[in-house]
Structure 1
Amino acid sequence: MYTAINRLAESQVPLKKIGQGFCGTVWGENDHDHEHLHLALKREDGCPWRSIVHEHRIHEQILKAIQNTISDGDFGKFRVNFPFCEGLLTRDSPHWSQILPRLPPAFEPCNALVNERIPSMPHRVRILLYRTFHPEVMGHPEVMGLPAAATVINNHCLVRPYLGRRLFGPRMIPRARPSRLVVFGIQNFLLHLDQIDQLGLPAKDYAVAMADTLAFLYWTARVDANDVEFVLAPTRRSSSEAAAISPGIGSVMFQSEALGTHAMWVLDFDCCRDMAMDEAGVKQAATAFLRNDPFFPRPPSSRDTTASEEQLWDTFQSRFLETSHSILKEEGKSVQQLPVLLIEEIVRTCRERQGPGAV
């Protein structure tokens, strides 16, 4: 059978680096061809204790859970996509002889994933993000060693929504001109909660989507969601192939003037672990929740918490419990109580970290 891996191997277009994490580097073709489902190659060339083979197993487990859960109807409200997994390349795969010439010199075969590529935010959005938050990049051909502005703007762009952190505290006065030292690569453009508000993005809708996703990962896929990433990006392309291969939950797309129609995507499963349906699993999930980047809203404290942050946590918490109850309604009482115990563990740990003044 002709596979996506065969298609990746047979193409002669040079691969461009579109991302990098602890597990390794991510490569893809230029984002201009709308005729087929785009592919991303994630190489295991990062930290030696990260495993692409393990990520492949967890990814397949999640996709199977989606297929089993949603075959009889939709789940969740807002659209959250999981990239389709096309396959695993091992170090001794014969495809490397064709793929390596598309990579920089001196690259060697390694374990790698071939996944559906998450589409990049359009050029209009990239320009908006930099003009709004990093105008110094737009005003100079080179800034602090960054490549020319045109090159930066044209890079693959995914937006990481940090609902659990503000760039500036409620009593801090933002600088009139952002420091050049805080310019982030556009491949992972960070938007903190106050920046999300500044752009008029639907933060509460994002919180609902994250709550549904975590409930699904914990109680259906039964993984702890450790170090998974949430990004905002365009919806899947409406080709026949993309329509046939579209794992995800929910159906309502996000709408905003700044980003247009978009969806939430979840990626990076190499740190996820299987999760037992007991109190030990709850502690494992709570630790992962608080260890992850601040995608999720945080429980309110006495330290600079705004009313909007409290409302965002309330939205997230109530939706998580509601969706969790729906998933676990056929389970025994000992399992049905786990979502409440998880929220209690998160709140308790946050208060301990915040000290005696927390409420």
Structure 2
Amino acid sequence: MHTVGASNMLELRRIGAGFCGSVWAPTQGDPSAFKREDGGPGRSLFNDFEMHMRVLESLDRLTGLGDTDLSLHIQVPQCYRFIEATDQEWWNKNLTSFPRGYSPCNVLHSERIPPLPQNIREFLIDEYCPTPLISEIKASDANQDCLIRPYLGRRRITPSNKDWPSRYKAFSLRNFPLHEDQMEDLGIGADITTCAEMMAETLAMIHWYGGLDANDVEFVLAPPRNGTQPRLSNALGGHTMWLLDFDCCRWMTMDAKGVDQAVTAFLRNDPFYPRPGQPLWEKFRDRYLQVSSNIVIIEDKRRKPLPEMFIGRVEEAQWKRNERRVP
């Protein structure tokens, strides 16, 4: 079991924060992440833990079948332990690993997703950072924690201009958003389809093998874990796609009501997924239906109509949205 032990009392450094809470990692050695439940109300770190474990279990079981038609390429951080605020033994050993003033709370201990290396970080800074901030951002410790959010469902309305004064205020490589048109500009357009298909097969697994709605999950591009091969190799170096953040996921029923729940989650999420009407949508849709079909044959053939229903209702909802935008 990975842990921050009493014998070495590793110092923890804050590497990110979200609505659910802050995320910390050892300053050296152990590739762990510790997510504290110190964010906004209404979020449950225990639900994050349960849903995370369900996704890992589903991925492991599918991989164990050895079926090439169900070969998934996503990486999901290992989930080691849910630590309660009342776990005196753990907190007596590890509270001093956090900065002074922090108190015990619920914590989720998981594998840390490796950040992108320095040469890729500097490439992104040179490409997108406002010129007056480049030196400051390159020297920033916080920007060492670089993961890329691939936004395949959004193109920028206007290309960014790194010299516009309005862009001088802030720049961060943490959860750096990379839109579809930016990927094309970087010359990695050929890999966009691969990313879309990885998202599609992962979503199919979560829906029809895990039985979850995938609400508010996140995808990031980052190096693969040690001992595994990168799925992609391009201007962003050797990397793969990771899946994380499960605290908003909920169980869904295997019927039309569950499909509607999954559709709502899909449309509300950040624009990771391609949208109907984009050329990329067909690739996403085809891979989603292919993997879903193979899963329902294994799980329950009565679910066979549901993946098609999901896709159809996503397309219908998107068309209605588009109609409302037309003046």
- State TM-score, norm by structure 2: 0.91
Q: Quick one: which amino acid aligns to residue 20 of structure 1?
A: A
SS in 2 for 1:4: coil
Distance in 1, Cα, partners of 2:214 & 2:116: 25
1:112 to 2:99 alignment: no
For 2:163, the equivalent position in structure 1 comes to 177
**Structure 2 CA distance for aligned equivalents of residues 9 and 269 of structure 1:** 30
Asked whether the 8 Å contact 1:78–1:254 carries over to 2, the reply is no
**Structure 1 partner of 2:48:** 55
Q: Give the alignment of 1:136-151 within 5 angstroms.
A: 136=131, 138-141=133-136, 149-151=138-140
Residues 10, 188 of structure 1: alpha-carbon distance in 2 compared, 3 angstrom cutoff: farther
8 Å CA contact retained: 1:130, 1:138: no
- The amino acid of 2:176's aligned partner reads F
Q: Conserved in 2, the CA contact under 8 Å of 1:56 and 1:113?
A: yes
Write the mapping of 1:178-257 to structure 2, written as runs, cut at 5 A.
Answer: 178=164, 179-180=166-167, 183-201=170-188, 202-238=191-227, 253-256=231-234
Q: Which one of 6, 11, 28 corresponds to residue 25 of structure 2? A: 28
| Counterpart position of 1:305 | none
Aligned residue among 149, 153, 165 for 1:164: 153
Structure 1 stretch displaced more, 61-70 or 271-280: 61-70
Corresponding residue for 1:88?
A: 82
User: Contact conserved, 1:161 with 1:230, CA < 8 A, in 2?
Assistant: yes
Tell me by how many angstroms 1:54 deviates.
1.1
| 1:68 shift after superposition | 2.1
Q: How do 1:313-332 and structure 2 match up within 5 A? A: 313-330=281-298
- Structure 1 partner of 2:263: 286
1:137–1:14 distance in 2 versus 1, CA, 3 Å = farther
Cα deviations by residue, 1:302-324 (Å, 9 ceiling, x for unpaired): xxxxxxxx321111011111111
Q: Kindly state the Cα deviation for residue 223 of structure 1 after the two structures are TM-superposed.
A: 0.5
Counterparts in 2 of 1:357 and 1:228: CA distance versus 1, 3 Å:
closer
Say yes or no: does 1:339 pair with 2:313: no
TM-score normalised per structure 1: 0.83
| Runs (5+) with no aligned partner, structure 2 | none
Deviations 1:231-261 (A, max 9, x none): 00001112xxxx7xxxxxxx871121x1121
Are 2:303 and 1:350 aligned?
Answer: no
Q: Which residue matches 1:13?
A: 10
Q: Is the 8 A contact 1:118 1:233 kept in 2?
A: yes
Q: Distance in 2 between matches of 1:357 and 1:105?
A: 51
Aligned CA distance change for structure 1 residues 163 and 46 (closer, same or farther; 3 Å): same
CA contact (8 A) 1:24 1:45 kept: yes
Structure with larger RCO (C-alpha < 8 A, sep 6+):
1
> Conserved in 2, the CA contact under 8 Å of 1:123 and 1:154?
no
Letter in 1 for 2:79: C
Q: Per the alignment, do residues 120 and 173 of structure 1 end up closer, same or farther by CA in structure 2, a change over 3 Å counting?
A: closer
- Normalized per residue, the structure richer in helix is 2
- 1:182 CA drift (Å): 7.1
CA RMSD of aligned residues (A): 2.2
Q: In structure 2, how many angstroms separate the alpha carbons of the residues matched to 1:130 and 1:156?
A: 13
Listed as ranges, the gaps of 5+ residues in structure 1 are 142-147, 244-250, 301-309
Identity between Structure 1 and Structure 2 (%): 39
Of 332-341 and 267-276, more deviation after overlay is shown by 332-341
